[in-house]
Amino acid sequence: MQKNILIIGACGQIGTELTFTLREKHGSDIIIASDIREGNENLMDSGPFELLDATDYDALEEVVAYYEIDEVYLMAAMLSATAEKFPMRAWNLNMNSLFNVLNLAKEKKISKIFWPSSIAVFGPNTPRDNTPQNTIMEPSTVYGISKQSGERWCEYYHNKFGVDVRSIRYPGLISWKTMPGGGTTDYAVEIYHKALSDKTYTSFLRTDTTLPMMFMDDAIRATLELMESDPDKIKVRSAYNIAAMSFTPSEVAESITVQIPEFEITYEPDSRQAIADSWPSSIDDSEARKDWGWRSEFDLERTTNEMLQNLRK
Ligand code: SER
């Protein structure tokens, strides 16, 4: 029997592409998109949509019962830069939505959950290069604290109540269909838009700030591969490290210059610099490779080609 899937936060950067991909794969009718606000026209026209506040347990339970939902992808969250401005709102959104979904699974109202974690779970005392799966974490941002706590709760609900929850620590994600909002890695999307519209970009991170990044197609494939894996293969029930590439603002600028020679980048670091400085520069994803066969496909050159080609259309 085909299982109905609910995507919470379907209008966001990841949610939009996840919704499209799942609808292509399984048909539109069984993929229910939801968000606190409506999304772009393409998304709204692509299948069923519900306005939903994921921090409202009763409303969530009602949608799950109405559509006979079996699987939930919880993509709603407040990202790192915005969370520093609104700490309590970020904590409430990021944690209460997770508890609501975990509790639905504990009560056997749904049977599988995807919840995204982030490289933000790491902090200034974490080894920065090739950061291992298990290491010192000590996140120093509101967002990172919420993601690390979330990881602990996912593992707890799995061990204690048998909840089938799966998670990935996403690096900065680069995509052309929907803009990210409120993150520290957002520059790596904005830069492509500005390169095409203005031929110049002012980076809010320093020239030499190396961060782990990934093209959205890789991130979506990782998510679906993890969700489709046999449960016995999933040894990590907090969240898996995954990796594709690492680069600095000047390296991405250089890759753009190959196609747009007149493009110029300038630097005006702001408060997001401190957040970036507390995160790893590269990630060791050997556990994900070993347990469920993860392999990235997009490097910086291929990402730049995809971004410029699609944004030009
Ligand atoms: N891309 C996110 C952010 O910058 C990290 O998960 O907040």
State how far the Cα of 264 lies from the Cα of 202, in Å rounded to an integer: 9
Residue of 14, 79, 272 with the most ligand 1 atoms within 8 Å of its CB, for mutation: 79
21 token code pair? 């991909």
* Residue-wise pLDDT tens digits, 157-203: 999 999 999 999 999 999 999 999 899 999 999 999 999 999 999 99
Residue pair 266/311 in contact by the 8 Å Cβ criterion: no
Quick one: pLDDT band at residue 14, thresholds 50, 70, 90?
very high
Set 57, 66, 67, 143: catalytic member: 143
219 lines ligand 1 (CB under 6 A): no
Residue pair 94/150 in contact by the 8 Å Cβ criterion: yes
Q: Is the dihedral of CA 217, 219, 222, 226 positive or negative?
A: negative
Q: Phi and psi of 240, rounded to 5°?
A: -85, 135
* Residue-wise pLDDT tens digits, 109-142: 999 999 999 999 999 999 999 999 999 999 999 9
C-alpha 108 to ligand 1 mean position (Å): 31
State how far the Cα of 313 lies from the Cα of 311, in Å rounded to an integer: 5
Burial of 268 per CB tally in 10 Å (0-12, 13-18, 19+)? exposed
2, pLDDT greater than 80: no
80 lines ligand 1 (CB under 6 A): yes
C-alpha 144 to ligand 1 mean position (Å): 9
Q: Is 143 a catalytic residue?
A: yes
59 token code pair? 């409303």
**Is the pTM here over 0.95, yes or no?**
yes
Task: Give the residue among 215, 175, 187, 225 at the shortest CA–CA distance from 298.
Answer: 215
* Residue-wise pLDDT tens digits, 219-263: 999 999 999 999 999 999 999 999 999 999 999 999 999 999 999
172 lines ligand 1 (CB under 6 A): yes
240 token code pair? 């898996």
pLDDT at 255: 98
C-alpha 184 to ligand 1 mean position (Å): 5
CA atoms within 13 A of residue 37's CA, in its CB half-sphere? 3
